[in-house]
Amino acid sequence: MKEKIQEFRQYNNLFTELVRKGIKLKYRRSYLGIVWSMIEPLLTMIVLTVVFGTLLGHKEKAFPVYILAGRLLYSLFSQSTTAALKSIRKNEAMIKKVYVPKYLYPLSDVVFNYILFAISLIVLFVVSLVLGVYPTLRTLLAVIPLIVLFALSLGVGMILSTIGVFFRDMEYLWNVGLMLVMYTCAIFYYPDKILSSGVRWILSCNPLFCVISCFRDCVFGRPMNAEMLLYATGFALVTLVIGSIAFEKNQNRFILYI
C-alpha cells in the first residue's frame, strides 16, 4: 500500500499531463475550442426540446432544464466509460515500451471527461436562470449525486477497460448497452407513469437513472429520494471495488494481449 502511494506521487505529474492532453486534444483544430463543451449540450437541448416537447406535448417552461440535466449526466457517463474502455488499447505504444502504472489511463480519461462536464454545467446554470428555475439551498446538494456519478463512471470504466483488453467485442457490446442505459434514464420523458406502474424496476434498477433523478431533484429544489440515492451510491461503490480488483489482478497480463 505504501509503495502504491509512493508510486502515485512519482507519477502524479504523468496523471496531470494525461488529463491535460485529453482536454487539449479534444477540441484541437476546432475554431471554438473548449466553448464547444458548452454549445454542444445547448444545441442538443434545443433539438430534444423541439422534438420531444412537441411530440409528447410537454409545454412546461422548465422542460428544457429537465432535458439538459439528464442529457449532461448521461453523456458524461457514456463518454467517460467509452473512453476508459478503449484507454489501454489506445495507449498500447506507450505501454509496450515503458513502465507506467496502467490505471492512470482509464483514470485520466474519466477525469478529463469529468472536467469538461463540469464546465458544461455552467450552461445548465444559465439555462435554469433564464427559464425561471432559481437555485435554492437544496441546489448545493447536487454535489452528492455528482460525486456518485464520478464513482460510478470510474468503476464501470475500470471494469470495461479490463474486459476491453481481452475482448475487442466489448466496444460494440457496450454501444448497445449504452443505448439501453440511455432509454432507461428518462432523459427526454417524465418517468412518473412508469414509476407508478408494474414495470417500475426497468427504471429504478438503472443506477444512472437514480443519479439523474436525484440530481434533477436538487436542480428543481426538491428533496432527493433517499432510496434511489442509497441504491446508486451502493451500486457505484460496488462497481468501483470490483473494477479496481479486476484491473489490479489483470494489469500485468495486459501487455500480452494488446
The residues that touch another protein, with contacts defined as CB under 8 A, are: 10-11, 13-14, 16-18, 21, 24-25, 28, 93-100, 166-170, 173, 252, 255-257
Of 219, 53, 89, the residue nearest 163 (C-alpha): 89
- For cell 490505471, the residue is 103
By beta-carbon proximity to another protein, the closer residue of 116 and 127 is 116
Instruction: State the minimum distance, in angstroms, from the CB of residue 162 to another protein.
Output: 14
Euclidean distance between CA atoms 103 and 247, whole angstroms: 8
By beta-carbon proximity to another protein, the closer residue of 53 and 171 is 171
By beta-carbon proximity to another protein, the closer residue of 190 and 257 is 257
Query: What does the angle CA 181 – CA 186 – CA 191 come to, to the nearest 5 degrees?
Result: 135
By beta-carbon proximity to another protein, the closer residue of 96 and 222 is 96
Instruction: State the minimum distance, in angstroms, from the CB of residue 134 to another protein.
Output: 42
Instruction: State the minimum distance, in angstroms, from the CB of residue 80 to another protein.
Output: 20
Residue 205 half-sphere exposure, CB side, CA atoms within 13 Å? 8
By beta-carbon proximity to another protein, the closer residue of 14 and 195 is 14
Give me the DSSP letters along 170-230: HHHHHHHHHHHHHHTTTSSS--HHHHTSTTTHHHHT-HHHHHHHHHHHHHTTPPP-HHHHH
Instruction: State the minimum distance, in angstroms, from the CB of residue 95 to another protein.
Output: 7
By beta-carbon proximity to another protein, the closer residue of 22 and 243 is 22
Instruction: State the minimum distance, in angstroms, from the CB of residue 103 to another protein.
Output: 15
Instruction: State the minimum distance, in angstroms, from the CB of residue 249 to another protein.
Output: 13
By beta-carbon proximity to another protein, the closer residue of 14 and 34 is 14
Of 155, 150, 148, 156, the residue nearest 225 (C-alpha): 148
* Residue 220 vs residues 99, 109, 184, 216: alpha-carbon distances, Å: 48, 30, 21, 6
Residue 169 DSSP SS3: coil
132 phi-psi bin (left φ>0, alpha ψ -120 to 50, beta other): left
3-state helix, strand, coil in the chain (%, to 5): 80, 0, 20
Instruction: State the minimum distance, in angstroms, from the CB of residue 21 to another protein.
Output: 6
